[in-house]
């Protein structure tokens, strides 16, 4: 159980339209202690499943737009959340980019392109840092709070043995550094908040779809399995673990 000492929980899932984020919304809705669940989408076009869920749970699930590359949208969504609930207990950021119509992960240096690299950093690294900036006032309160961001083991510099995927790797490494640094500031300014980065394991979502060939079936998790594993990890995380990077099985990952 997440934050067992809190009887009434307000939670937020950022990047809740697909894959791991949408599944977090589904599983958090099953926790009856969660009174209010905010969930964000970038565009209503890709948010049909999430918006349908909010129609089924109009009292508990509230959807708001956030494109993490637009700081004003982060500010505006948090202003709306604070007006409804001044305190949040759980925030899970599931936003991430590996590929889209315009860009694919780079296999070789000759494929590097500064606009594409910048896009990885804006979505995968700077977005989560701006979330940490704007979340501080809502996570800072007398009860414990938790801010988890989905990172990726591929962002581990120590674990990088096969190379490739320059922008994605580097942006996840930068994400880890941003949030490790934020955890140190939070320790001073909001000591009851625990910040962690999570590696979900290879999960069957749109993000991994083009790259699943060669992944043994037992190593390709369903979103349901991934999220229940990550909720298990988050349930066992302690405040002194703030700033750490955990794998889906609870193991600490090297930087
Ligand atoms: N799947 C895996 O095997 C795997 C492995 C390791 C790490 N991860 C990480 O896990 C996290 C979730 O990935 P996933 O597999 O669930 O991918 P996914 O199904 O592609 O979902 C990605 C989510 O990020 C959102 N997003 C993208 N750009 C955004 C932006 N600028 N602002 C706000 N939201 C934005 C997407 O929203 P839209 O619907 O609007 O596009 C979508 O909700 C990511 O951080 C990913 O790097 C995944």
* Alpha-carbon span 24 to 174, nearest angstrom: 24
Of the chain, the percentage scoring pLDDT greater than 90 comes to: 98
| Angle in degrees, CA 143, 175, 135, rounded to 5 | 30
Q: Ligand 1 atom closest to Cα of 66?
A: 33
Going by alpha carbons, the residue nearest to atom 33 of ligand 1 is 67
What Å distances lie between residue 97 and 11, 18, 146, CA to CA? Answer: 23, 12, 23
DSSP string across 47-90:
-HHHHHHHHH-TTTEEEEE--TT-HHHHHHHHHHHHHH-S--SE
Q: How far is the CA of 188 from the centre of ligand 1 (A)?
A: 30
Q: Which CATH architecture has domain 9-247?
A: 3-Layer(aba) Sandwich (3.40)
- Does the pTM of the predicted model rise above 0.95? yes
Is residue 38 very low, low, confident or very high in pLDDT (cuts 50, 70, 90)? very high
Ligand 1 site: residues with CB under 6 angstroms? 15, 17-21, 42-43, 46, 66-69, 94-97, 123, 150, 152, 200, 202-203, 205-208
Residue/partner pairs of 67-75 with CB below 8 Å, 24 or more apart: 67/42, 67/43, 68/14, 68/15, 68/42, 68/95, 68/122, 68/123, 68/126, 68/127, 68/128, 68/130, 68/131, 69/122, 69/123, 69/126, 69/127, 71/130, 71/134, 74/127, 74/130, 74/131, 74/134, 75/134
**Those residues with Cβ within 8 angstroms of residue 253's Cβ, 6 or more apart along the chain or in another chain:** 153, 156, 159, 199, 245, 246, 247
Give the mean model confidence (pLDDT) for residues 209-222. Answer: 96
Write down the pLDDT at residue 186: 98
Q: Which of 70, 207, 248 to mutate to test the pocket of ligand 1 (most atoms within 8 A of CB)?
A: 207
> Does residue 120 contact residue 167 with C-beta atoms inside 8 Å?
yes
Checking if the pLDDT of 1 tops 90, the result is no
In whole angstroms, what is the distance from residue 103 CA to residue 207 CA?
12
142-173 residue pLDDT tens: 999 999 999 999 999 999 999 999 999 999 99
Nearest-atom number in ligand 1 for the CA of 17 is: 43
Per-domain residue ranges of the chain: 9-247
Mean pLDDT over each residue of the chain, to the nearest integer:
97
Write 113-116 long-range contacts (CB < 8 A, 24+). 116/167
CB–CB of 3/55 below 8 Å? no
Structure tokens at 26: 């589904």
User: Rounded to the nearest whole angstrom, what is the distance from the C-alpha of residue 150 to the centroid of ligand 1?
Assistant: 9
Tokens standing for residue 250: 């609870």
- Given a cut of 90, whether residue 79 has pLDDT beyond it is yes
């Amino acid at each position: 159980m997440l934050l067992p000492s809190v009887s009434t929980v307000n939670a937020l899932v950022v990047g809740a339209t697909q894959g791991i984020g949408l599944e977090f919304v589904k599983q958090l809705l099953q926790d009856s202690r969660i009174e209010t669940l905010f969930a964000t989408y970038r565009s209503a076009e890709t948010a049909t499943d999430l918006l349908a869920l909010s129609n089924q749970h109009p009292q508990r699930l509230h959807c708001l737009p956030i494109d993490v590359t637009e700081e004003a949208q982060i500010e505006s969504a948090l202003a709306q959340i604070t007006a409804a609930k001044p305190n949040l207990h759980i925030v899970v950021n599931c936003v991430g980019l590996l590929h889209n119509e315009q860009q694919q992960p780079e296999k070789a240096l000759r494929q590097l392109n500064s606009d594409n690299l910048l896009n990885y950093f804006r979505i995968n690294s700077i977005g989560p840092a701006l979330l940490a900036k704007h979340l501080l006032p809502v996570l800072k309160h007398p009860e414990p709070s938790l801010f988890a961001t989905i990172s990726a083991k591929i962002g581990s510099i120590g674990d990088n043995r096969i190379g490739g995927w320059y922008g994605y790797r580097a942006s996840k490494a930068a994400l880890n550094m941003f949030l490790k640094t934020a955890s140190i500031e939070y320790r001073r300014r909001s000591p009851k908040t625990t910040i962690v980065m999570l590696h979900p394991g290879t999960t069957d979502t749109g993000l991994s779809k083009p790259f699943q060939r060669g992944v043994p079936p037992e190593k390709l998790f369903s979103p349901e399995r991934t999220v229940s594993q990550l909720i298990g990890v988050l349930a066992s995380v302690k405040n002194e673990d703030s700033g750490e990077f955990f794998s889906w099985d609870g193991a600490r990952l090297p930087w």
